Amino acid sequence: MQQQVLGGRYLLKDKVGTGGMATVYRAQDQVLNRTVAVKIMLPQYAGDATFAARFKQEAQAAAGLSSPYIVGVYDWGKDGDTYYIVMEYLRGTDLKSGIRSHGALDPKKVAQIGSQICAALSVAHKHEIIHRDIKPQNIMVLPDGNIKVMDFGIARAKNSHLTQDNNVLGTAHYVSPEQTRGQELGPTSDIYSLGVVMYECATGQVPFDGDDAISVALKQVNELPVPPSQLNPNLDADLERIILRCMEKDPANRFQTADELRQTLNAYLAGRQVDVPEPTRVIGAVPAGGAGATETRVMSDQTQAMARPAGIGNTAVRSGSGMSSSASGGADPYGGKKKGGKGKIVAGVVAALAIIGVIAFAAFSALNSGAKTVTVPNVLGYTQEEATEELRSLNLGVKTSSGYSDEYEEGEVMSQTPSGGLQVEEGYEVEIQISRGPEPIKTTTVPDLKGRTREEAEKLLEEAGLVGVASEASNDAEEGTVFEQSPAEGEEVEEGSTVTYTVSTGPGTVSIPNVVGDGENSALGALEDAGFSVSREYEYSSRVDAGVVISQSLTGSAMPGTTITITISRGPEPDTSTPDTPATSPDSPTTGEDEEESAGAA
């Protein structure tokens, strides 16, 4: 890539990522001599006045936020037709990649991450800024395990006019129900999204999935999540209640502030009693797989513009506006009323299905009011035979599967769906998962990263099932290539292990030894050991002993390989006059020989 300098100051090095609105580069701040991240608006948006305004708003808003858990914004500007933001350069990996690599996280780690995100949101909310795009891709996990919240690219100040459009921005897996409806957003919307993030951290999967953004967003509105403990039996009840309270459909039922949620998470981390009410539950038994369960599908991680179905949030008809639901209608050319858009059809179908569901449930309850129900026993830790016998004794069906577990011995029940204590009808099929014991340790060979670019190194590590943590340092290796790694190439390590590697920023300057007053050989050795070439000159000096350095051409610091010229004393200049012969005046017309003859004659 041809090197480019933005604003006469930021030298772009290499691309580190692309988001929904911008590309991010690693760059060198040539004024403060530090590595920074520069976010440059994508070309298709740079000419759009609305997006340009939103981009500048991001910089102005984020620059005012100061927290150890928020990525720092240093500068922003416009270079030609390009808008850019200069941010803190982070070393680490995003939370989404971490979940993909490691699966469900330890409950305490989930709470710690949630608490730190709360700290970041608390600062933003006090500035009346709602993030609106909290998701694992926007959470950077640093090498020390702490996090920083990134990307206020679609955040907005409370009274910003920039969001009054026909799109709901955000990633569908994490948007709140009110964001899907296009309603006014507040702090509780970010808290909902944070609840989804903690759910994914705790279970390794998102609560709602589907074929497209619209179907996922509608599930956020209409379906309750499967309790995370059904997906991860190691999750305790306190943390589950915290997560599900964040994900309540009604904002009034959630934690109302980030500070309130953080205090609760910190109490949980400290082992204190957590007073959180039971979350909203599905009426009746939860079917195997849960109310919100769907086939797992891989969707794009990029933030996308998601069309808001008209009518879902009743945004077209406002209270007191004096406009009826048909105010924008009229006869179409065929004599009928003008048809609504696709969004209205979707909304109508959803509403109809909801009504039908209520009616069907009522009818089903009436017809089966005499059906016998039983309480599902808790069979965790039972052998397969014991669990099967216990369930069948209650006229319940049994479906088995298996998996690895560090907690349960081989042959014991490690999870069950539904959980023990739920009321179901006789004949209901309970799924139990039988432990195969601890998962065998999978090993992999550490690839050779030396000489590779950062992107090539990350690809090799990903293919090997390893996690890379990069740093930078000056080195004689080609700029932008790896020159050091640990563990070394060829070593066998456990899959998921971390490999640290160092990328060269090119040869840096080094201090020049001061060799004035040193002997010639000593000075030569000192300069060459420091990486410099040496040129020698000699001159007479009545003040400096022979063989001692009188001066050097450069001091301070310079690039390795620079030539340093040292001047070495020859000692005093020798006297060229003849001994015992008086010195004659420069004006004397006679020679010394003539003088001797004259003296003898005298």
Residue ranges and CATH numbers for the domains of the chain are: 1-89 (3.30.200.20), 91-280+289-309 (1.10.510.10), 443-504 (3.30.10.20), 510-569 (3.30.10.20)
Task: State the Cα–Cα distance between residues 188 and 179, nearest whole angstrom.
Answer: 11
Residue that wins the pLDDT comparison between 154 and 15: 15
Residues with Cβ within 8 Å of residue 491, at least 6 apart in sequence? 445, 446
Q: How confident is the model at residue 190 (pLDDT cuts 50, 70, 90)?
A: very high
Tell me the range of 72-86, 523-537, 565-579 where mean pLDDT is highest.
523-537
The CA angle 279-281-284, to the nearest 5 degrees, is: 155
Residue that wins the pLDDT comparison between 475 and 411: 411
Q: How confident is the model at residue 199 (pLDDT cuts 50, 70, 90)?
A: very high
pLDDT value of residue 580? 54
Share of the chain above pLDDT 70, in %: 75
pLDDT value of residue 391? 92
Which region among 298-302, 334-338, 355-359, 411-415 has the lowest average model confidence (pLDDT)?
334-338
39 in a known ligand binding site: yes
Tell me the range of 119-133, 326-340, 466-480 where mean pLDDT is highest.
119-133
Average pLDDT over residues 22-40: 89
Q: How confident is the model at residue 298 (pLDDT cuts 50, 70, 90)?
A: very low
- Start-end of H helices in 247-334: 258-269
From the CB of residue 220, how many other CB atoms can be counted at a distance below 10 Å? 26
Residue that wins the pLDDT comparison between 181 and 490: 490
pLDDT value of residue 152? 64
pLDDT value of residue 317? 29
The DSSP annotation for 552-576 comes to ES--SEE-TT-EEEEEEE--SPPP-
Residue that wins the pLDDT comparison between 327 and 502: 502
Average pLDDT over residues 128-132: 86
DSSP 506: -
From the CB of residue 222, how many other CB atoms can be counted at a distance below 10 Å? 17
DSSP 161: S
**What backbone phi and psi angles, to 5 degrees, belong to 51?**
-70, -35
Kind plus residue range of the DSSP H or E element containing 456:
helix 454-463
Q: If you average pLDDT over every residue of the chain, what do you get?
A: 77
**What backbone phi and psi angles, to 5 degrees, belong to 263?**
-60, -40
pLDDT tens digits for 341-380? 334 334 443 443 343 343 334 333 433 445 588 888 888 8
pLDDT tens digits for 215-256? 888 888 888 999 999 999 999 999 999 999 999 999 999 999
pLDDT value of residue 478? 87
Residues in the chain: 602
Which region among 30-39, 56-65, 69-78 has the lowest average model confidence (pLDDT)?
56-65
Token digits of residue 31: 């004024």
Task: State the Cα–Cα distance between residues 264 and 106, nearest whole angstrom.
Answer: 18
Task: State the Cα–Cα distance between residues 346 and 312, nearest whole angstrom.
Answer: 9
Token digits of residue 560: 């390795």
Q: How confident is the model at residue 181 (pLDDT cuts 50, 70, 90)?
A: confident
Kind plus residue range of the DSSP H or E element containing 454:
helix 454-463
The pTM of the full predicted model, rounded to 2 decimals, is 0.49
pLDDT value of residue 597? 39
Tell me the range of 354-363, 518-527, 579-588 where mean pLDDT is highest.
518-527
Q: Tell me if residue 151 is catalytic.
A: no
Q: Given a cut of 90, is residue 584 above it in pLDDT? A: no
Average pLDDT over residues 377-390: 91
- Start-end of H helices in 34-140: 43-46, 49-63, 95-102, 107-126
Share of the chain above pLDDT 90, in %: 36
Q: How confident is the model at residue 416 (pLDDT cuts 50, 70, 90)?
A: confident
Handedness of CA 361, 367, 370, 373 (dihedral sign): negative
β-strand pairing of 93-94 with 147-149:
unpaired
Task: State the Cα–Cα distance between residues 220 and 192, nearest whole angstrom.
Answer: 10
In contact, 325 and 235? CB cutoff 8 Å? no
Options 133, 190, 209, 238, the catalytic residue? 133
Average pLDDT over residues 292-302: 37
Q: Given a cut of 70, is residue 435 above it in pLDDT? A: yes
Residue that wins the pLDDT comparison between 283 and 83: 83
Average pLDDT over residues 179-191: 88
Longest dimension (CA), the chain: 161
Q: Say if residue 487 is preceded by a cis peptide, omega within 30 of 0.
A: yes
pLDDT value of residue 491? 92
CA dihedral of residues 41, 46, 48, 49 (deg, nearest 10): 90
Residue among 508, 511, 510, 513 nearest 527 (CA): 513
